[in-house]
């Protein structure tokens, strides 16, 4: 039976946390351990974790300062214990009992780093189905550098990938799921896409990160990233990948990374990004936005 350590970051999650943890420890055909990092909760989350961990020897938790979800999850990867596989979990979802074993059965190549991601079933606060959100993307390093497609709460990854991730701590990071997906592609790892869903992805008013973010809030966020922030997101991600994994990068991913790093000051690199047909997603709208952003040196 394969050992899988689930990594869960909590923050003021008292309302749904028990239900989610129960669904995690009920996983079938695998040996589950759960490591929880609390990201500075001020509600009853800690009390719930203390109560549950006393009753379950395979559950450990510790308290940390508020870092936000990306760095909280990355710290969990650093502190993870020995296992065959690792999985991320959000505090307010509910897993089907075969969620983890469905991933493990597809992760079977121990010679290369492997990452599994799947679709999700969107539900409301009361777990009523709203829609199945099928995972979409071009599923290449180039496409992933344009837009992340992976739901972190579905990610399961091999020990080999965990060990490589832990070789480097990025200074600049947007989210843990996109970082790990990009690292896996960049070093020639295997990213396994499952169009099936084994998770109820709960949407409610207090989500830290939700699948939908409409209206003025979203437009303001996009405007700030594109025009106000001095940081060029993908340039910085590319620089982090090169700094952390230069000797492990494939030649193809290194070419993409170097063109991203140089495009604001090198016409040849900018043309590569604009006209290379592989540096695209499957979305006309996203590709159009990307081209405009590159022309404005805001990509």
Per-residue pLDDT of the chain (299 residues; tens, 9 = 90+): 999 999 999 999 999 999 999 999 999 999 999 999 999 999 999 999 999 999 999 999 999 999 999 999 999 999 999 999 999 999 999 999 999 999 999 998 888 999 999 999 999 999 999 999 999 888 999 999 999 999 999 999 999 999 999 999 999 999 999 999 999 999 999 999 999 999 999 997 655 455 454 445 555 555 555 455 555 899 999 999 999 999 999 999 999 999 999 999 999 999 999 999 999 999 999 999 999 999 999 88
The beta strand positions in the chain, using DSSP E, are 3-10, 31-38, 59-63, 85-89, 94-95, 114-123, 129-133, 156-158, 190-202
User: Phi, psi (5° rounding) for residue 184?
Assistant: -60, -45
Greatest Cα pair distance, the chain, in angstroms, is 62
Angle, vertex CA 276, rays to CA 275 and CA 277, nearest 5: 105
Q: Specify whether the CB–CB gap between 233 and 223 falls below 8 A.
A: no
Neighbours of 189 (CB within 10 A): 24
Which of 44, 68, 53, 46 lies closest to 21, judged by CA?
A: 53
277, 290 in Cβ contact below 8 A?
no
Report pLDDT for 264. 94
Burial of 268 (0-12, 13-18, 19+ CB in 10 A): exposed
pLDDT at position 96: 98
């Amino acid at each position: 039976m394969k050992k899988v350590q689930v990594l869960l970051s909590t923050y003021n999650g008292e309302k749904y946390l028990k239900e989610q943890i129960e669904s995690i420890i009920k996983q079938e055909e695998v040996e589950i351990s759960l490591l929880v990092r609390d990201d500075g909760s001020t509600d009853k989350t800690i009390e719930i974790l203390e109560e549950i961990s006393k009753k379950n020897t395979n559950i450990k938790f510790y308290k940390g300062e508020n870092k936000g979800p990306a760095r909280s999850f990355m710290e969990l990867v650093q502190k993870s214990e020995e296992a065959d596989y690792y999985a991320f979990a959000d505090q307010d979802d509910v897993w089907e009992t075969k969620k983890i074993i469905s991933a493990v059965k597809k992760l079977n190549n121990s010679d290369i780093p492997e990452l599994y991601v799947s679709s999700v079933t969107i539900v409301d606060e009361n777990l009523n189905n709203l829609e199945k959100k099928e995972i979409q993307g071009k599923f290449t390093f180039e496409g992933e550098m344009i837009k992340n497609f992976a739901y972190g709460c579905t990610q399961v990854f091999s020990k080999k990938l965990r060990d490589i991730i832990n070789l480097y701590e990025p200074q600049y990071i947007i989210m843990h799921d996109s970082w790990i997906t990009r690292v896996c592609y960049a070093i020639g790892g295997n990213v396994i896409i499952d169009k099936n869903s084994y998770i109820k992805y709960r949407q409610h008013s207090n989500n830290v990160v939700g699948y939908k973010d409409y209206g003025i809030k979203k437009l303001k966020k996009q405007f700030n990233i594109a025009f106000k922030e001095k940081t060029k997101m993908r340039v910085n991600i590319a620089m982090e990948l090169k700094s952390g994994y230069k000797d492990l990068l494939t030649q193809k991913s290194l070419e993409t990374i170097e063109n991203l790093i140089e495009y604001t000051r090198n016409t040849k690199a900018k043309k590569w990004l604009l006209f290379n047909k592989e540096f695209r997603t499957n979305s006309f709208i996203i590709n159009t936005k990307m081209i405009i952003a590159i022309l404005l040196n805001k990509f």
